[in-house]
Chains A and B, each alone.
Chain A
């Protein structure tokens, strides 16, 4: 989550400026601290003073030289900081080339909906809590607030931009370095603000394209009996909030009605994601079972209720979810 080092043209100019200001700040703190300490040491009266009231007050020099030296230095430093600031603002305002890919990220209490837009609807798809981008090109991110205000923040790639209900904000991502970049909601948004992480996975264009094609595939009908039974449990217990492409869940109809709201993430390719519940739980069989059995224990206040599944139902559901690759 650190942003002392960043990896892309959206963040890098600000990081340079930040380091410049850190160094300037440390210099100012050091100078003033030394001056105050030295002043006290050099000037304080020798010997024990019993009655301050008897010490005469005198003006001595008027001391105005301090302003004549100090103020021009201050003004020069501030003006330099301002010019650098405006230059960085201009540099990061928009990417150097026109982005070919646009992603719509919606902040929900307490997870991220990620929608890959495409002019051809058959090329659009939805995922959650994990953004994949190709390296070497800018990606436009449209930011939407579903309920309350959240803030989109991938420290190593971009500073914060709020997702505000009723307005669409814009950020962009670009990096040449493949890797996983952590992000986190940065505006207080309620009980589980602490557990609202997301990851940006930057991969070479070929790998990204493979991932994208995978995301476009609807979920297969599972072949083994346990997973098939799990699919029925899923439809009965989970389908009112979660969608799986290729399966007619009740959430599809509800989503068309409400467009957002209390609905949960799309699970079509759940197994392609590294964590669950906005990076609250590792995506493993154990993690998934524990999460489904009692989300409130791991993320108190989360919108996903305890499902009260029996042991066999739970393992069947997990077996089904394991097929959503």
Chain B
């Protein structure tokens, strides 16, 4: 038994009628109005904001893609100038990779984690709010450049020397460099929060072999971010210094252009895994609910999640096979890139086996999750092809790679995310999405996606390079490109149907109740939408499937959901030990505060000042940051909230 580290031991009580909910609501709810909105540190509120913001960026990035597909639908088109095309493909990549794919998963994890783990909030609610506001600021910062025609235009990979001042004299690249450093702050504080929340805020009894796979995915991604983001932030900072102060880190004469590529891909490849592992976790958790059985191979899947990431740090050079590195080095990275398939195969077999040993119930969410297995395999085997160095010398920089990354990012991120929307929308809103429209939604997306992206493999094999704004009629690529464009528009219609379904169901969707799917995990034990405090009493967990114990009958003891620790003296949740989930302290959680918003605003002002060399403005922003930090760390009176709640 672990030592109890708090002066007070909470009582164990039963939930009875309104007790202790009404009192907890007063303690936890965010006050109405603008100030409350800007001050909220509720993980559910922040999670929803993340999801909505990321979906808006998905639409923006999607529209950018559609405009490019108009330009490429036929040969020698003049819809766009080369400069416009370059900014569009750059912003499309930046938007989808940085402003949609990662934040959408952060949003779901933010919303779901405390509910999955049996906690009242994330470990650091204010960092959580800060992470969102900084993300929003970074997104607006980069889009402000784009809408004024000064957006990044050297691809999301931003290779030097093209990104150096000699070849890109405008502020375009500075917008990207500073924007991404700003975004890195958001990712970093968000990741710290996930890591600590995973280790310390699980419900009593939830040892680390009982957590949902989604939390393994997000934990792994967060640890990876903490190791990978410094590399890209440093790279962009050095580049900005090169451009503004002539520091020559990357210049061809006094620096080394390949250094940029190493730093970028040491970040870039782990990042790719960071934006798919949590989504794979969603499938691992939700697919079994529709198959009416636990996931096959929990332990191998959890281990392979972590294993993927560990190997993911050793494969970055496969983005650089054509840079003239010696063959011996290339064979090492070829080997690592092939071996990384093994943990992915574990997941594929686990999901397929779950279908075969379960009794699948076909719902829209299930269709998205099950089809993801196939899309994942297509993206996976094309990844194996590119992992083989001599083959990659042909495939790289062609549309084959465009096909590959879209099967990876849409197949393993967008499809699970849309499935997750169908699955968790009832929890977030209390209403189910329309099932019939949902099936139309799925088939439109699935057919549109494969029609739009599978032919890209063939275009790549026919030699069509990436990032060309036009091509000649004599190249033989025209009809295939027309098919791709038609498919991409059909796919966009599919996404539109999702939004239509959301809009309709928000008002008229069927009432969900707490657990419409008969699902196994803790979030389904609370009302939909959950109350501000999540759990009236802290549940005690005895298995991986606390809501399925009466069916599975595998554990001698049963999880206790409506009887548990009463924590009602202010915003409190329980702290547990890292491995076993033994409760050993009461975590006092902060009240709503405007400090994270002010801090993010100050940071944004600082970066705008740096962009324009308006150092007074940067200084002003810095002062706001400092003031916000003082407010943030100002000592709080212990249990001040309790008195208020009592009064």
A residues near B (Cβ < 8 Å) are: 1-4, 11, 13-15, 17-18, 21-22, 24-25, 28-29, 32-33, 35-36, 39-40, 42-45, 49, 51-67, 70-71, 74-75, 78, 81-82, 84-86, 88-90, 92-93, 109, 143, 145, 147-149, 151, 153, 155, 158-162, 164-167, 169-170, 182, 184-194, 300-301
Contact = CB atoms under 8 A, between A and B. Distances in A.
Interface of B: 81-83, 86, 154-155, 159, 161-162, 167, 252-253, 256-258, 289-294, 296-297, 300, 322-324, 327, 330-331, 334-335, 338-339, 341-342, 345-346, 348-350, 352-363, 370, 373-374, 377-378, 381-382, 384-385, 388-398, 461-471, 475, 515-518, 520, 545, 548, 551-552, 554
Contacts of A11: 394
A34 to B, nearest CB: 10
A52 B361 contact: yes
A257 B92 CA distance: 41
Contacts of A300: 81-82
A239 B378 CA distance: 54
A65 to B, nearest CB: 8
A1 B349 CA distance: 38
A33 B374 contact: yes
Q: Which DSSP category, helix, strand, loop or mixed, fits chain A's interface?
A: mixed
Contacts of A15: 394
B438 to A, nearest CB: 14
A53 B330 CA distance: 52
Given A29-B381, A63-B354, A145 B327 contact: no
B352 A39 contact: yes
Given A74-B342, A300-B82, A18 B391 contact: yes
Contact of B518 (A53, A58, A75, A84): A53
Contacts of A1: 462-464, 475
A109 B381 CA distance: 35
Contacts of A90: 327
Given A2-B463, A166-B252, A44 B362 contact: yes
B461 A186 contact: no
A28 to B, nearest CB: 5
Contacts of A55: 292, 359, 361, 518
A301 B83 contact: yes
Most interface-central of A14, A63, A184 (chain B CB within 10 A):
A63
B467 A78 contact: no
Ranked 3 nearest A-B pairs via Cβ? A159-B393, A1-B463, A165-B252
Given A57-B294, A93-B327, A67 B349 contact: yes
Given A57-B293, A160-B394, A32 B518 contact: no
A158 B322 CA distance: 11
A193 B167 CA distance: 14
Contacts of B361: 44-45, 49, 52, 55
A66 B356 contact: yes
Nearest to A38: B356
B354 A166 contact: no
Contacts of B398: 186
Nearest to A189: B162
A92 B346 contact: no
Contacts of A184: 463, 465
A84 B323 CA distance: 22
B257 A149 contact: yes
Contact of B374 (A29, A44, A81, A147): A29
A157 to B, nearest CB: 11
Contacts of B515: 53
Contact of A164 (B323, B357, B393): B323
Contacts of B159: 148-149, 187-188
Contact of A17 (B324, B355, B391): B391
B384 A25 contact: yes
A40 B362 contact: yes
A4 B461 contact: yes
Contacts of A182: 463
A63 B357 contact: yes
Given A78-B342, A89-B389, A40 B355 contact: yes
A186 B467 CA distance: 9
Contacts of B155: 188
Given A89-B330, A165-B161, A170-B324, A71 B342 contact: yes
